[in-house]
Amino acid sequence: MSGSYIALSLSMSVFFSTQVLSKSLPDLEALLGQQLNQLPTNTQISTASRIERSSSDSMAITHVVTDKDIRQFNLQSIADIIALFAGVTTRDDSSFIYVGARGIGRPGDFNSRFLFLLDGTRINENLLDAGLLGYENFVDVGLIERVEFSPGASAALYGNNALLGVINIVTKTTSKLRGVNTAVSITNDGAQHARATIGFRSSSGSDSWLSISKTKINAIPYPVLNVPAELIKWQHLNDDESTRLMFSHQRGSLQFQAAGSKRKRIFPDGFSLISQATPELEELTSEAYLFALTFDDTLSEDIEAYFHISTHGNDLERSIPFILPNGDVEFDRPRNSGRWSNLDGQLMFLGLDSHELMVGFDFQKDHRQEFSASSSIPNEFNFEQKNNESRYGLYIQDLWRLTPNLKFQWALRYDNSDFSSARWSPSFSLKYNFAEKHSLLVRHNRAFRVANFLERYANTAFNIDIPKNETIKYNEVSLIQKWTPSLSSFTTLYKANIKNLIHEDFFAPIYFNTPPIRSKGLELGIDKRWHAGMSLVASMAFQRSELEGGFGIANSPKFIGQLRFSVPLGASNFLLSLHSNAVSKRKSFGYQLPAFSSHDASINWQSTNSLFIALGVRNITNEKILEITSDGFIPYVQRRRQIHLSINWSWSND
């Protein structure tokens, strides 16, 4: 009997959905919200070639996560977004989030082997070349239009740091942020987030928006195992608070951006409980800002130009309590402070038949690179180390269309700076369309990383040679295939030689170059759409990285799997989204970290374009995931089960 009722109700669902389908042509706003039920013929990609190009013309594989994915899977940070990309893993110690790819996830590297861009602007900070992926990043995820990830080496275009991949965060315009746009979210483990954005587009088309957001996480569960009971009772003092402010104004060819963030991480100091009844609090405060002006336009029929100038700041200060023998409390305050400016330019010549020629330059002036430490009473830990530096790069790239089905792209870049030797970085890519919508891509790319200020300073302080530049050479073969209008796949086989990888010594705060590392891997992925709005994106990465002599390296899982699946529920505005992530066992400093698979689910409901609600569970089975992030040899617990609720509401007077 109950089966009949269910059949009846399902039939009614189908009937009513058919009725609605046959209604008149949707308005423009509804068309913009329309999910494609096929894979688009071409999308736009800017990261792989440093210029916006159609995906069919792209000479590298680029993975994209869009704002729709961000909302559907209720992603909270840049790290959550990056973790969706093929072959990528993230590791969080609750103060900093690290990312690894292609078998390389060096503990404590602060993501300096990835290049991070914000709308094309380099945003790695200038002391550690660190990429900030957590709440200290000044971009709220609600402002992101899409994130592009181009895996592999890209020094021929981008220079320093582009070893394992380039990640470009592209922000929205007022087409999606006009009027008042608000978002609030809460989780069962004490996280609260709120964002308010106002956006305005004038009749002349100039586009302005301002956004402020705040995140608070109270009583964060300690991310380590076997926490002593006397420390657990002070867990309510374990807090994270961050504020982000961002402004954008675009008029014609010019865009101005300003952004700032402040994050304060407070945690009870366990050592102080040895000598007193209540813990002292340790604080970690990070502040960052950016001002950027960009010009992007066509100068003549055959010349396009891009110029960019920006200035940046990043400060990180710790306040570490220690108890003096007489029982007094003293605070040591190590501080990292960076200030730098970038000037970039690029000209594209399209006047030569079958060629797209690009020349460009990048210049970075580090006004301040400063490490210091102080306490209220002078002691032997106080120090101050200051520096400034100039770095520049010149590059040329040509895309040569040899035949309609064969393209060849070469690029060459020269880099130099005050504290490193000059470097040439070439790259070669060949793309052959061996059948309609099936192409073969063969690439040779190189990249390098110059010892950063920390690595130089640490070795200099101990009278040890500064580590040599680390280098990587990638040879890759990829197949990019579109089997049907709704099914595509990619396959990449790569082999890399890594020389002089810079690594921190276990026994002293100094850095050395490792023996050569051989890395090889296979990355596979599919993207499938169904007629009713159902979609599946899945990827697998098999990888192996070894030191010369066959020794494995830390944080290098041999398998990473990703799966994303979304299905509309009936003819409603409900959407069910599932995400699974599996990583094989890996070793780190002698620890054998277990394999894991975690699963997330989210149900979303959208009412026209003004209201969007997402309710979901992360790590449904509460799988215990452990990662080692630095040479502290401490396994950190990752992504415990979390229930989250997000509400986005927007209002516009049009």
Partner 1 sequence: MTKAIIALCIFISYLPFSYAQGLSENELKAAFLYRFSQFSKWPPPPPDKLSFCVVGNHELYKAVLALFDTQNIQNSSEVIELPSNEQAQLCDILFLSQQNRQQTQYWLAELEHQPILVVADTSEGFRQGAMIGLIADANNLSFRINLTDAKRRGLNFSAHLLKLASEVR
Pairs from 419-425 (Cβ < 8 Å, separation ≥ 24): 419/389, 419/450, 419/451, 419/456, 419/466, 420/450, 420/451, 420/469, 421/469, 423/155, 423/448, 423/469, 425/155, 425/156, 425/159
Least Å from the CB of residue 153 to partner 1: 25
Choice between 225 and 569, CB closer to partner 1: 569
Work out the angle at residue 98's Cα, subtended by the Cα atoms of residues 159 and 593, and round it to the nearest 5 degrees.
130
Q: Which distant-in-sequence residues (6+ apart) come within 8 Å of 228 by Cβ?
A: 270
Choice between 221 and 570, CB closer to partner 1: 570
- Give exposure, 428-447, as e/b (b: 16+ Cβ within 10 Å): bbbbebeeeeebebebbbbb
Choice between 132 and 614, CB closer to partner 1: 614
Least Å from the CB of residue 255 to partner 1: 10
Choice between 45 and 454, CB closer to partner 1: 45
Measured distance CA(537)–CA(42) in Å, rounded: 17
Choice between 28 and 277, CB closer to partner 1: 28
Least Å from the CB of residue 74 to partner 1: 16
Least Å from the CB of residue 376 to partner 1: 53
Cα–chain center distance at 55: 20
Choice between 238 and 488, CB closer to partner 1: 488
> Partners of 583 in the beta sheet?
560, 596
Q: Where are the alpha helices (DSSP H) in 279-428?
A: none
Q: Where are the alpha helices (DSSP H) in 414-525?
A: 453-461
Least Å from the CB of residue 43 to partner 1: 5
Least Å from the CB of residue 606 to partner 1: 7
Work out the angle at residue 134's Cα, subtended by the Cα atoms of residues 639 and 188, and round it to the nearest 5 degrees.
40
Least Å from the CB of residue 38 to partner 1: 5
Choice between 197 and 630, CB closer to partner 1: 197
Choice between 353 and 380, CB closer to partner 1: 353
What is the sign, positive or negative, of the torsion defined by CA atoms of 51, 52, 56, 57? negative
Gyration radius (Cα) of the chain, Å: 25
Measured distance CA(544)–CA(234) in Å, rounded: 42
Choice between 201 and 518, CB closer to partner 1: 201
Q: Is 497 within 8 Å of 516 (Cβ atoms)? A: yes
Choice between 29 and 384, CB closer to partner 1: 29
Least Å from the CB of residue 282 to partner 1: 42
Choice between 16 and 633, CB closer to partner 1: 16
Measured distance CA(596)–CA(89) in Å, rounded: 12
One-letter amino acid of 460 = T
DSSP for 361-380?
EEEEEEEEEEEEEE-SS--T
Say which DSSP state 237 is in.
Answer: G
Choice between 10 and 225, CB closer to partner 1: 10
Least Å from the CB of residue 35 to partner 1: 6
Residue 67: CA count within 13 A, CB half-sphere = 16
Residue that has been written with the tokens 């089905």 in this structure: 405
Q: Which distant-in-sequence residues (6+ apart) come within 8 Å of 203 by Cβ?
A: none
Measured distance CA(167)–CA(170) in Å, rounded: 10
Least Å from the CB of residue 391 to partner 1: 30
Least Å from the CB of residue 404 to partner 1: 9
Least Å from the CB of residue 56 to partner 1: 8
Measured distance CA(255)–CA(121) in Å, rounded: 12
Least Å from the CB of residue 547 to partner 1: 38
Q: What is the 3-state secondary structure (H, E, C) of 581-598?
A: EEECCEEECCEEECCEEE
Choice between 20 and 277, CB closer to partner 1: 20
For the chain, the residue count is 654
Measured distance CA(256)–CA(310) in Å, rounded: 9
Measured distance CA(532)–CA(554) in Å, rounded: 44
Least Å from the CB of residue 150 to partner 1: 15
Choice between 157 and 498, CB closer to partner 1: 157
Measured distance CA(81)–CA(165) in Å, rounded: 15
Burial of 418 (0-12, 13-18, 19+ CB in 10 A): exposed
